[in-house]
Structure 1
Amino acid sequence: MLAPLAFLLGLSLALAAEPPSCAPLVPVTFDNATIPRLLGHWIYIAGSSKYPPHLEELKALKHATFSIFPGSHEDELNVTEIMRMNETCVVRNTSQIHIFWQNSTLTHVDNQVTSTAVMIQSDKDLLILQHLNANFPGLSLSARTPNVSKEHLEEFQAQLHCLGFTEDETFFTSEKDACPLPEEKTDKDNADPQLG
């Protein structure tokens, strides 16, 4: 009688020690409300990627904002990005996002470089993208404001953990590194925005 009881107690302790199971990320299925939700101003908060070109960019990215506008076709959006890469502020207004309704994916095209992603279901003021680059996982978080709640950050970090990322592989931007907007630029600013 003691052996089965000891086994059950040991099993319950072993189960309690295991980390909680990871729920799969739930992609957004595009409908008529999806694209209007994307439009407007966003602040890039954090991201992780195992894809070497994206990883290099994440290491250099100190701050980024982007605005999404309707394009000339219903399956196209225009993007303006303002970012600080290391010590240089860069303004890009030549990139586009192509919308693929049939599989609910977005493809960002910037100077012949493409990156495909799916939107993950989240709060309406958050934009979580799961990046699809060969077999390299990637996940990014953007928000309408620079202040993301502790709960939302913890949820994003749990998603990263489930994808196999460590804290050292997650890169956060900082509001203190924000580039001045082109209309706010003064003669004293030493980081000249470069038009891309």
Structure 2
Amino acid sequence: MLASLVLLLGLPLALADEAPSCAPLVPVTFDNSTIPQILGLWIYISGASKYPPHLEELKTLKYAAFIISHSNHEDELNVTEIMRVNETCVVKNNSKIQVILHNSTLVHVDDQVSSMAKVIQSDKDVLILNILHDKYSGLSISARTPNVSKEQMEEIRAQMHCLGFTEEEMFFTSEKEACPLPGEKTEEGDTEKQQLE
């Protein structure tokens, strides 16, 4: 799964005495098959940002998953976000993604704040978003499952370095911090208490 992402992004395994190869990110051009491919559950793996408010959010994010579904509008998608922020699981089910077909862009609208992103070509089980916020850049990598190897994480980190992100601007979530999905039972058999927003 992420191995294909690595291959498609041009992230070959770095040899001990060579610097990693830096391939450009190639955006997806939206067509009739694009949106159905991004529907469903995604586990947030990693993010990097140069935008100060996003950096502050990423510092507190321990785990995140999101479910993208159709809405009543053709150019809009619903998003349910499940996050562990510091020590609290939070579920947000009021977010929307606007789909702008003419320039193949997604716009995430949350609490009157919007972020624009381009979907980057990758494996079908990986969702890479190049986040564009004014003059600031960002990168978000999510997958259908949380299973990512240490080597794959290092390759993701190398690509983020290629894009100019510092260690202080990169964040990785942990499956150990996972929150149950809405309605999912915890090991004790009870649904974990979640703060709804």
What is the TM-score normalised by the length of structure 1?
0.83
Distance 1:128 1:150 in 2: 18
- Cα distance in 2 for partners of 1:135, 1:30 equals 24
Helix, strand or coil at the partner of 1:182: coil
CA–CA separation in structure 1 for the residues paired with 2:96 and 2:23: 32
Partner Cα distance (1:136, 1:113) in 2 = 15
Moved over 4 A (4+): 17-21, 149-152, 185-189
Q: Is the 8 A contact 1:42 1:145 kept in 2?
A: yes
- The AA in structure 1 aligned to 2:100 is F
Aligned equivalents of 1:68, 1:83: Cα separation in 2: 15
Q: Which has the higher helix share?
A: 1
Q: Which moved more, 1:177-186 or 1:25-34?
A: 177-186
CA distance in 2 between partners of 1:30 and 1:154 (Å): 30
Larger Rg: 1
Aligned to 1:75: 75
Shift of 1:89: 0.9
Q: Which amino acid aligns with 1:100?
A: I
For 1:153-172, what aligned pairs fall within 5 Å after superposition? 153-172=153-172
Provide the C-alpha distance between the structure 2 equivalents of 1:21 and 1:63, rounded to a whole number of angstroms: 29
- Asked if the contact 2:20/2:158 (under 8 Å) is kept, the reply is no
Q: Which runs of 5 or more residues in structure 2 are unaligned?
A: 1-16
Q: How does 1:2-151 map to 2 (within 5 A)?
A: 19=19, 22-149=22-149
**Structure 1 runs not aligned, ≥5 long:** 1-16
1:38-60: per-residue Cα shift (whole Å, max 9, x none)?
Answer: 00000000101010111001000
The answer to whether the Cα contact below 8 Å between 1:137 and 1:163 also exists between their aligned partners in 2 is no
Percent identical across equivalent pairs?
Answer: 67
Contact kept, 8 Å, 1:97 with 1:109, in 2: the verdict is yes
What residue number does 2:7 align with?
none
Q: What is the rounded CA distance, in whole Å, between the counterparts of 1:120 and 1:100 in structure 2?
A: 15
Report the residue type matching 2:196 in the other structure: L
Q: State the TM-score, normalizing by the size of structure 2.
A: 0.83
